[in-house]
Amino acid sequence: MALLEVEDLRVEFPTRRGALLALDGVSLEINEGEVLGVVGESGAGKSLTGAAIIGLLEPPGRVTGGKIRLEGHRIDTLSYEEMRNIRGKKIGAIFQDPLTSLNPLYTIGRQLIETIRVHMDVSPEAARARAIELLGEVGIPAPERRIDSYPHEFSGGMRQRVVISLALCANPRLIIADEPTTALDVSIQAQIIALLKKLCREHKTAVMLITHDMGVIAETADRVAVMYAGRVAEIGPVKRVVKQPKHPYTVGLMGAIPMVGHDVERLTQIEGAMPRLNEIPPGCSFNPRCPKVFDKCRMERPELMPAGRNAEAACWQFDKGGRRG
Amino acid sequence: MRKPLAGSSIRGGAVAKRAKSEAQAESMLEVRDLAKYFDVSKPWLARMIERAPRQILKAVDGLAFDIKKGQTFSLVGESGCGKSTVAKLVVGLHKPSRGAIRFEGRDVADVRSRADSAALRRRWQMIFQDPYASLNPRWRVRDIIAEPIRVFGLIKSRGEQDEKVAALLRQVGLSPVDGEKYPHEFSGGQRQRISIARALSSNPEFLVCDEPTSALDVSVQAQILNLMKDLQNEFGLTYLFISHNLAVVYHLSDKIGVMYLGRLCEVAGSKELFARPQHPYTRLLLETIPDLEMTGREREPVAGEVPNPINPPSGCAFHPRCPFANDRCRSEIPLPTERAGHTVACHAAEEGRLPDAKFPAPKRPSAS
Ligand SMILES: Nc1ncnc2c1ncn2[C@@H]1O[C@H](COP(=O)(O)OP(=O)(O)OP(=O)(O)O)[C@@H](O)[C@H]1O
Ligand SMILES: Nc1ncnc2c1ncn2[C@@H]1O[C@H](COP(=O)(O)OP(=O)(O)OP(=O)(O)O)[C@@H](O)[C@H]1O
Ligand code: SF4
Ligand code: SF4
Ligand SMILES: [Mg+2]
Ligand SMILES: [Mg+2]
């Protein structure tokens, strides 16, 4: 059994002109201790997927279909109170901007100690000792002195380290990290990614790593889900997806990324842009941009299907019944 | 002035060929000892009460580089190292605190008369990172694109102007009917195309592009980078390109300058820089490139952070993070010196005590 199972998840935004379907049948699994990367361009639905899982969808957005199971138990049907208990204890969260997770008015230490005591029955002294230990673990130098600093006294990279230590406080089973390094400098990005990788390996924590940066995914994730227009287009082990992408969108995406040492005059170009939510075409949502499009693509929507060894793709090319040369 | 255009070609006359050979190419831009200091002191009264000294931030300090005609020179470096400040100095949005900027051999500070300076400004344009902030939301796209044409009085008749705008829109992959729309009706990538069309409308020869694709998705970035290359091949444009993305810079540039805290650490040809990085900071940056091909390269953990530019470390500003730092590094600022085709500002490199770079020769794409 997978640690987290998301099945046919739908998220809608009601508007005056009818409901906007922002996630339309997202299915994915995360195994214990595994890093699942979620990539896709802006608006593909990555953050909504993460927010729906931890029960932090901003109204008026709401889950209107599908199931989310953690360790085999439904969590999408829990009350707000029950879900709050799961957040932090079982599922931790790290967001792009560390300042959204830190209160500027309280010291780092106070925030850590409070979070630790919410989830664990320990004395204030023991919580403080644990907080210092955690800060040391995420690479804050001289943690016994820095614990009484305020967030603004830390650099962006240091703040993101603190957020990671906050997310790890209660030893959760799963961390949802939404663009955790996007706001940071490249050299700091590499440090944070290495840290996240090391901690999750040591604590056997699974991670859902949301990012638009395929490079970060390639270095960090075990498996990757590629999202397009509110659905998963392809999912599989990172190495396979990077080297032998199956879905035409993934193929285009990989060719569009400039690489050091890869001397090409022109990059692969996917014509056009991802459709807006109210303009998603019938059939396969990628069909107007797809170089492999054929008749069926414009009529019927493909679900994820086996696409060779270690591969699942939502593309009619891999349909056993009507496979084309 | 050049002749107005006919058909879909933007420029009349002979099409310039991209200068390939470094030696024979003429310089478009020469920058010498360029510096920009900002006074970031607290207000006078607060300074008096707190007895705080004046604070000067040296955003750019003593930069020198050349850009050959028809080539792309890129500046890379982490946030706050001064890349945008250089861009603004070059296009005249900032006044230098020191140093010279020469355009085709002529010092731009000597260009005084209004006619002369307009003639000069028409020949360079700038493209910014945020394609939305740089487009006036209340103007129609055709008026946005035509603005430089009007400002410089390049075309008098309305009909000719409309024709030129239509040609420009086609050139950047949009349709002439898009001219009637407003910026908010376009996606981020399309807006960046509009700002490129606008920048091209005065027939510039030199474009300064400050992170033009950093806000875009990779698939859209590929469209813009391809467009930039096509335009360069067709019209022989010269680019000063600014980015923090090393792979993008590798893809686009002939020559690259690496900046750290307002100074150039290393300047070299693009292939050369990635194959044989010299400066310890260049090596650090190359270590951070995510390994997309997963060839299993062992990564050195990169320690430390960029220091506060108001109070930079003494001597070589990189010394607190540098594994090769010694006493000389802590006291003396290293000056750029030539070494095997690289210009490097590093004592260890000059003294020949740097080990060979561990960074592997450029990786080939996997054959499979
Ligand atoms: N409050 C809202 N009202 C209407 N639509 C929304 C709302 N929030 C998000 N959406 C839409 O849902 C879609 C998915 O958004 P989401 O934030 O998940 O994208 P993302 O993949 O995380 O993109 P990014 O890379 O830009 O963060 C987008 O089309 C977005 O416009
Ligand atoms: N007008 C200004 N007044 C005071 N300081 C400034 C001003 N403009 C820039 N600076 C400072 O100069 C330094 C260089 O800034 P610059 O914007 O050139 O960096 P950059 O390399 O473009 O960074 P980024 O990658 O974040 O865009 C920074 O420390 C910045 O805070
Ligand atoms: S289903 Fe058809 S249109 Fe969609 S990706 Fe596959 S081939 Fe292309
Ligand atoms: S000058 Fe010294 S401190 Fe600076 S990069 Fe070279 S070796 Fe390192
Ligand atoms: Mg998002
Ligand atoms: Mg900048």
Is A98 within a domain? Answer: no
Is A162 within a domain? Answer: no
Read off the pLDDT band of A9 (50, 70, 90). Answer: very high
ipTM: 0.86
Q: Tell which B residues from 316 to 355 touch A, by Cβ distance under 8 Å.
A: none
The pLDDT of residue A242: 93
Is A150 within a domain? Answer: no
The tens digit of pLDDT for each residue in B57-66 reads: 999 999 999 9
* B9 pLDDT more than 70: no
Q: Determine which residue's CA is closest to atom 5 belonging to ligand 3.
A: A315
Global pTM reads: 0.88
Is A112 within a domain? Answer: no
Number of domains in chain A: 1
Is A212 within a domain? Answer: yes
Read off the pLDDT band of B142 (50, 70, 90). Answer: very high
Residue ranges making up the domain that contains A64: 4-90+172-318
Is A125 within a domain? Answer: no
Element containing residue B242 per DSSP (H, E): strand B238-242
Read off the pLDDT band of B360 (50, 70, 90). Answer: low
CATH of the domain at A223: 3.40.50.300
Q: Does B79 touch chain A (CB under 8 A)?
A: yes
* B365 pLDDT more than 80: no
Chosen for mutation from A259, A279, A286 (greatest number of chain B CBs closer than 10 Å) is A259
Residues of B in contact with A157 (CB under 8 A): 305
State if residue A101 touches ligand 3 by the CB under 6 angstroms criterion: no
The tens digit of pLDDT for each residue in A148-178 reads: 999 988 888 888 889 999 988 888 999 999 9
Is A131 within a domain? Answer: no
Is A121 within a domain? Answer: no
Read off the pLDDT band of A17 (50, 70, 90). Answer: confident
The pLDDT of residue A99: 77
